[in-house]
Amino acid sequence: MPEIKLPEDFVTYPEARKKAFMALKALKEQGRRVVGIFCTYAPQELIDAADATSVSLCAIGEENIPAAEKVLPKNLCPLIKASYGGAVTDHCPFFYFSDMVLAESTCDGKKKMYEYLDKLKHTHVMQLPPGRDGRGAQEYWRQEVVAAKEDIENFYGITITEEKLREAIKLRNRERKAILDYYEVGRLKPSPISGYELNTVITSNEYAFDIEKKIAFLEKRTAELVEKYHSEYEGKPSRPRILISGCPTHGVIDKVIKRIEELGADVVGFENCCGPREKKDPVDETKDPITALAEKYLRVNCSVMSPNPGRYEALSEQIDDYQVDGVIEVVLMACHTYAIESEAMKQFVTKEKGIPFLSITTDYSTTDQGQIDTRLGAFIELLG
């Protein structure tokens, strides 16, 4: 079985979460404010500017699902069930330590789940417009950013100043740049980085609460990888290069991402929320901060937006820039918005971009691993 290229000090996602739990506990003991988030639409700068730590809440783990199914329907996306299950059972230490949750009305399942979550802990739901280009959408969403800011202020009895917002925007833009540079190592051919590492590190980094340290870590690792490319990989043959698209993959890293690489291909990029989706797009530092945040976060290319033209543009650019040989789309079971976009994505990738496309629908269980391996194996063989 081909070996996956990993750094010596590689930390798996479960290990990173365990470490983060201790770090967050220490922060709480020092009296730090903590706000939980779930989604890429969450304007983290609002939380930073409130002198609070934002933490990604657990949305993975098959063990979290049975408790959720006591309240939520079984035929719901595993990410939503694991989010609620982790919270209601206290299996998610980050939810336990959060003072409140900043959420958004993305898909129907998530927004209805938040009604139950709010009974456990104050959950502010920002109401997204159904499409980013609809009449009044921008101004409506700007008002939602204002409302979220005011709710955080009222909750903590503080004022979020413009100066604090500007500082937060600058810091998060530097973080975005460091993350983007790290992702873009995947453009090198042959890739010196494993997609398994990319997915793990970026997802684990959501638990690195010191942003300056996170930036320094990513800059160092990016420099090491570029150096490694020139000394070990440049000019050598490449394995088939895969781009991942669709739903977030942090709940299926081992089941899908790692398996693709064990079966002989390189995952070189992600066109999903585990990838550079929002990192490529900094917040405009010259504008009024609330307007700039509203504009930036409404540009996230998620299938909950209708229409969602940005996803085609992002896919097209990434296929070219990362010299991709095939796209594998991961759709979480019962995720209607990504499932519906799937046929259009297939047509776009195969007809417009002229490369093969495979869509896999799965959940967090391991019962379909054999079937997934068979499909991945056949696809990779097709790519040669």
Interface contacts to ligand BJ8, rule CB under 6 A: 39-41, 77, 79-80, 106-107, 109-110, 247-248, 273, 300, 302, 304, 332, 335, 337-338
- The smaller minimum CB distance to ligand BJ8, of residues 58 and 80, is found at 80
Q: Which amino acid is at 33?
A: R
CA dist 291 and 287 (Å) reads 7
Least distance in angstroms from the C-beta of 334 to ligand BJ8: 6
| Residue closest to 252 by CA, chosen among 240, 237, 235, 267 | 267
Least distance in angstroms from the C-beta of 219 to ligand BJ8: 25
Least distance in angstroms from the C-beta of 247 to ligand BJ8: 4
- The smaller minimum CB distance to ligand BJ8, of residues 281 and 325, is found at 281
CA 101 to chain centre: 17
Q: For residues 283 and 172, is the Cβ–Cβ distance under 8 A?
A: yes
- The smaller minimum CB distance to ligand BJ8, of residues 188 and 334, is found at 334
Least distance in angstroms from the C-beta of 132 to ligand BJ8: 12
- The smaller minimum CB distance to ligand BJ8, of residues 39 and 327, is found at 39
- The smaller minimum CB distance to ligand BJ8, of residues 114 and 229, is found at 114
- The smaller minimum CB distance to ligand BJ8, of residues 222 and 249, is found at 249
- The smaller minimum CB distance to ligand BJ8, of residues 192 and 251, is found at 251
Least distance in angstroms from the C-beta of 248 to ligand BJ8: 5
Least distance in angstroms from the C-beta of 81 to ligand BJ8: 9
Q: For residues 265 and 240, is the Cβ–Cβ distance under 8 A?
A: yes
Q: Are strands 52-56 and 123-126 parallel, antiparallel or unpaired?
A: unpaired
| Residue closest to 12 by CA, chosen among 275, 207, 225 | 207
Report the DSSP beta bridge partners of residue 56.
37
| Residue closest to 349 by CA, chosen among 381, 379, 304 | 379
Place of tokens 């992600």: 270
Q: For residues 44 and 236, is the Cβ–Cβ distance under 8 A?
A: no
Least distance in angstroms from the C-beta of 109 to ligand BJ8: 5
Give the count of alpha carbons within 13 A of 263, CB side only.
Answer: 25
| Residue closest to 51 by CA, chosen among 121, 175, 123, 156 | 156
